[in-house]
Structure 1
Amino acid sequence: MPSAARVVHEQIPLRIHGVNLKVASVRRGGVDAPVVFLHGFGTSKEDYLDVLQRHEFAGRPFLAYDAPGSGATECAGLGEVDLPFLAETARAMLDRAGIGRFHVVGHLTGALTALLLAHKEPGRVLSFVNIKGVLAPEDCVLSREALNHRDPGDFLFKLAERSRETPCYGGGLYASNLPNKVQRGAVPTLFRSMVELADHGNLLQKFLSLPCPKMYLYGEQCAGLSYLPILDANGVELAEIPHSGQLPLYSNPVATWRQIAEFHARQLIPSARRW
């Protein structure tokens, strides 16, 4: 493996559920337990690359990649991309990188991907930072609305055009990036899967039952989520980011990275294996 100081960008060939992928990834090796970053719908691995500038993460091994249907990752079957497909891709990427146990940071659908993976293999996850991940039906307002249209992808992109002046923090930047970061053919299947899991997947209980330390991080515009008191009462650390909404890494990255770094520093969990 490369040294801790060397950052490697590469395309990883995988075959998931009979679909060929070339996964665009970035990683750094090292001897500590790595941090695995999973981006959300409409964003990409680059959202996390400020990890290279953060002194708290100096030398820490990490892995980030563009999920199938997103960014620079090539996918031969976009219609097959649902949340279980993304979770299986994550497992394959971890195995390919030789990662056994790891800390995970996931945003939106990336957090849901991490939750599905952690629920099946809870012993691998050392800690979980969930950035406004899907845990309940209330988290799927937009995806549910999109599925009521003949072409959910077309609806989504037209909505993004109209949302450049959104009152939500980071919304304009998100909307402008959407056409370059989302592959339209993946939208319907992914949204159907997300809504189904939010409605019937018992996601909140799955998250609460994970044995690792957990943080739920969200912007102040999301402070009305109904399940926040339940998370708090069950030992999940809550981190509300000021001047932010669903996209704290866009609107308040300094506070977001500080919360993630401080949470990691409190864990003091030794690495279980070398990367």
Structure 2
Amino acid sequence: MPSADRVVHEVVHEQVPLRVHGINVKLAWVRRAGADDPVVFLHGFGTSKEDFLDVAQRHDFTGRPFLAYDAPGAGATECADLGEVTLPFLVATARAALDRAGIGRCHVVGHSTGALTALLLAHEEPGRVLSFVNIKGVLAPEDCVLSREALTHRDPGEFFFRLAHRSRDTSCYGGGLFAANLPAKLRRGAVPTLFRSMVELADHGELVPKFLSLPCPRLYLYGKQCAGLSYLPVLDANGVELAEIPHSGHLPMYSNPVAMWRQIAEFHARQLMPVARRW
């Protein structure tokens, strides 16, 4: 039998009923318990919690508690009204998930819309987020070119699926894998309201100032194909760590996961001081 201070916590897959803004949600999550402050992973648009499950295999995260879940409209999570899936709804879902898991404070890793969800949550509850790894999250109008275009079409979901299908033949890293996964990972009914919400926030939400105002350590991680983002010098000049991942673009977890995980682990190693707190 292992000693009490060397308990091995298993990775647990569950579906958890939640009530978010009056809507029934059956959240599919995977978690590992532990004594330290957990790492919470929020996946991006068109992807799922599985993007981050290699955390369970990474020796540099051995024993660290974590939580990852499929957002409403994605993966195995069920949502009774996909037309209600907006960024505020996703923030409320994140808050409900953390409360249900008994997580007070946590380190957050978010990608794309998951990073935007994390940013809004951290802005509303700055004491809850201990550190924030933002993987190519939405921060400005330039991050919403395709979603903005999709909203000009009668069926934004159908347009986006056709666009993603065509992306298999582009030079964007990870595009083929993203397109192949999309039918299993994204509910079309969630696309219009989520896109409208995202574009509105990108245009009017003052997201870069919100990100810069967070009191926690921050890392903005992006693929080399995204190195031309106009706000990167602003982030750098205001104390945000930057990490460029070679041989990748918007989806470094698909095209260069080894480099991505190394950057996240090194950032955490500089920031994380384990605290004996069970959740």
TM-score of the pair, normalised by structure 2 = 0.96
Structure 2: gaps spanning 5 or more residues: 1-6
| Residue 241 (str. 1) matches residue 253 (str. 2) | no
Map 1:47-66 to 2 at 5 A. Answer: 47-66=51-70
Kindly state the Cα deviation for residue 158 of structure 1 after the two structures are TM-superposed. 1.1
Range with greater deviation from structure 2 (157-166 or 13-22): 157-166
Moved more, 104-113 or 154-163: 154-163
* Matched letter for residue 7 of structure 1: V
Offset, 1:274: 2.2
Taking only aligned residues, the RMSD between alpha carbons, in angstroms, comes to 0.9
Displacement, 1:43?
A: 0.4
SS of 1:126's partner is strand
Choose from 5, 29, 38 the match for 2:9: 5
Instruction: Determine whether 1:171 maps to 2:171.
Output: no
Equivalent residue number for residue 164 of structure 2: 160
Residues in 2 aligned to 1:234 and 1:89: alpha-carbon distance in whole angstroms: 30
Q: Deviations over 1:154-180 (max 9, x none)?
A: 101111221211210001100111111
2:47 alignment partner, SS class = coil
Matched, 1:95 2:89: no
CA contact (8 A) 1:21 1:76 kept: yes
The Cα of 1:269 is off from its aligned counterpart by 3.1
- Preserved CA contact (<8 Å) 2:33 2:278: no
Shift of 1:272: 7.3
Structure 1 residue runs of 4 or more that deviate by more than 3 Å after TM superposition: none
- 2:20 is equivalent to residue 16 of structure 1: yes
- The residue that corresponds to 1:253 in the other structure is 257
**Structure 2: how far apart are the matches of 1:217 and 1:272?**
29
- Mapped to 2, the partners of 1:182 and 1:225 lie a distance apart of 26
**% identical aligned pairs:** 82
Q: 1:74, 1:143 → 2: CA distance?
A: 23
Instruction: Return the TM-score normalized by structure 1.
Output: 0.98
- The amino acid of 1:258's aligned partner reads R
Decide whether the 8 Å contact of 2:40 with 2:108 is kept in 1.
yes
> Which residue matches 1:230?
234
Q: CA contact under 8 A between 1:130 and 1:217: conserved in structure 2? A: yes
Number of residue pairs matched by the alignment: 273
* Aligned-partner Cα distance in 1 for 2:142–2:239: 22
Rounded Cα–Cα distance in structure 1 between residues aligned with 2:227 and 2:36 = 34
1:122 aligns with 2:126: yes
Deviation at 1:4, TM superposition (A): 4.5
Cα displacement (A) at 1:5: 2.4
